[in-house]
Amino acid sequence: MAEECEENFEIDAKQNRYPYCIVWTPIPLITWLIPLIGHMGIATSRGIIRDFAGPYFVAEGNMAFGNPTKYWQLDPNLAENGTNGWDEGVDKASKIYCKRMHYLCWDNCHSHVGTALNLMSYNGESNHNMVKTFFCFTYNCKYISFYAFLKTWLPFFIMMAIIVSLSLFSNMAHK
């Protein structure tokens, strides 16, 4: 008698597995200045992350700037052909981006994720791009842990505290 195989939607941050997720990690210096800007990837049904990590390179399993701090788990049933469609979309987008130059402000990691969503016709749509992906992710994401929240925001708060302190000190010195 054949056993039915249940899909595993469980996120395992310790093993770095995020099935059906878009994931995000801070980029040193850039995220410290603008905490909403970071590096994005998309995971397969097995939770293996694929991210457009640099020119002509899509990483598998390890993100370019470290483990994710935020994630957004999507519904594979909204991908054309379900799980197979999800994995095919991620795979095809990764093959496309292995042949592309990486640019910081366009055709970047967010574009790679948008292309994967378009190729799987996620939610019946084919208009995902880096801007739409950014806003949808920012609105729907969750932090992996409190430490992940601190990793994202603490450098920004420290920099702002230094800037405010220097500004106040400078104003006091001129009086």
Write the pLDDT tens digit of every residue in 6-57.
Answer: 567 899 999 999 999 999 999 999 999 999 999 999 999 999 999 999 999 9
Question: Could you read off the pLDDT of 34-46 as tens digits, one per residue?
Answer: 999 999 999 999 9
The pLDDT assigned to 7 comes to: 67
Q: What mean pLDDT value characterizes the chain? A: 92
The pLDDT assigned to 133 comes to: 96
* Neighbour count for residue 141 (Cβ, 10 Å): 18
Please check whether residue 102 is in contact with residue 59, taking contact to mean a CB–CB distance below 8 angstroms.
no
Which residue, 35, 8, 29, is CA-closest to 20?
8
Query: pLDDT confidence of 5, banded at 50, 70, 90?
Result: very low
The pLDDT assigned to 81 comes to: 96
Query: pLDDT confidence of 168, banded at 50, 70, 90?
Result: confident
Cα–Cα distance, 146 to 161 (Å, whole number): 21
Is 67 a residue whose pLDDT tops 90?
yes
Which residue, 96, 139, 141, is CA-closest to 116?
96
Q: What is the mean pLDDT of the segment spanning 82-102?
A: 97
